[in-house]
Amino acid sequence: LPPWSIGYVNLLTVAMIIPSSMLLAPVGVRLSHNMPRAMLRRVFAVVLVIVSVRMFMSL
């Protein structure tokens, strides 16, 4: 296992993800409330397609 990890959890990565999530969550909330509902649904659909394509390509 790499240093600074507990099992499969890398503590350095966790230490970077938590503060950035706390700082950027209000930005995402503000964007989603200001965006038209149809556009928000399309953006979410595109994100799901990208994630699914990446998952299938890694098989």
Write out pLDDT tens, residues 1-53: 888 899 999 999 999 999 999 999 999 999 999 999 999 999 999 999 999 99
- For residues 42 and 56, what is the distance between their CA atoms, to the nearest angstrom? 21
Output the pLDDT for position 44. Answer: 96
3-state class percentages of the chain: helix first, strand second, coil last, to nearest 5: 75, 5, 15
What is the gyration radius of the CA atoms in the chain, in angstroms?
16
Could you list the residue range(s) of the whole structural domain that residue 11 is in? 5-57
Residue 29 confidence (pLDDT): 97
Number of domains composing the chain? 1
Q: What is the pLDDT of residue 1?
A: 80
Q: Which residue has the higher pLDDT, 59 or 15?
A: 15
Coil, strand, or helix at residue 21? helix
User: What integer pLDDT is reported at residue 27 of this predicted model?
Assistant: 97
